[in-house]
Structure 1
């Protein structure tokens, strides 16, 4: 699959990624059934360095100071980066969440789950093509794999026993890689 940057999406350390759904499954398989918050190979200082580089890039691209929520615990994600509404052409914020697994990332207009995907956000005027390109290019060029939100709302059917922890809820791929546990 090709990004708006004009080249194939990478996955840090593993070359290019043509199928975001396969990137989810591979990250799940590689982590194995016992690693819910982060994989055994997780290197927090390295991931924080990648996060800092992303924030610097976004600050430059949007001429702003992005808000960063980090120091997250009991979760399958590292941080959420918020591009302030005042820095975007549509006057709506952009949120980017980084998973602890496989360099996965999700980009959303206004917030997660508000629109089905970035195309819908653009259709509703909550995101411009230029801002979408800046956010997606920053993510991909720094080695993250952008995962479209609709893929994340599918029921989780991976290798962990995660659904057994939530017997009365539908566990999704969002829960597996981008949520509090």
Structure 2
């Protein structure tokens, strides 16, 4: 039986090269940064608010994070978008990564509006990012790359520190 996330799991496995744990071979730091700046601008325009961002994270496979502030969201909770250095992977979290078991739980608990989520995911998709559900990223990592964790997850692999 196939899962709706099978194509995403396949992508995560295809991007996984143990010789390049922190960023992929041929990583374009400038291009990744320029695309991230476009994302920050899109979210700022879409939510009508300044969106603080962390860029070029050191010793991590995560490139950066951008935050839609709580006052700009329908539910009054901030939205955090994390972008990986790998394959334009991104994920969306309400409040903070790991605060909920994914966007579905955040919506069910009233912390994330479906319209706000759609606005963020549309910006990501239109810019060429691949949105990976946080639930999938929290599943056990079983690839060949050594990651710093006792029981690593796909999040550790593509958004964690090395």
Look up the match of 2:143.
Answer: 158
Tell me the CA shift for residue 155 of structure 1: 1.6
Please state how far the C-alpha of 1:152 moved relative to its aligned partner: 1.1
Comparing both chains, which one has the higher relative contact order based on Cα–Cα distances under 8 Å and sequence gaps of 6 or more?
A: 1
Cα root mean square deviation, aligned: 1.4
Name 1:52's counterpart in structure 2.
37
Residue in 2 that maps onto 1:127:
112
Q: Aligned to 1:170, which of 142, 151, 161?
A: 151
What is the alpha-carbon distance in structure 1 between the residues aligned to residue 66 and residue 113 of structure 2? 18
Aligned to 1:91: 76
Whether 1:71 aligns to 2:64 is no
Distance in 2, matches of 1:173 and 1:47, equals 20
In the alignment, the residues of structure 2 paired with residue 71 and residue 153 of structure 1 have an alpha-carbon distance, to the nearest angstrom, of: 23
- Pair 1:179-2:160 in alignment: yes
Superposition TM-score, scaled by structure 2 size: 0.93
Residue 145 of structure 1 is aligned with which of 130, 145, 161?
Answer: 130
Deviations along 1:7-45, one digit per CA (max 9) or x if unpaired, are xxxxxxxxxx972222211211xxx21111101210000
User: C-alpha separation between the residues in 1 aligned to 2:9 and 2:125?
Assistant: 16
Deviation at 1:70, TM superposition (A): 1.2
Partner secondary structure for residue 32 of structure 2: helix
Separation of aligned partners in 1, 2:140 and 2:103 = 21
Unmatched 5+ residue regions in structure 2?
none
Specify the alignment match of 1:24 in structure 2: 12
- Give the paired residue count: 158
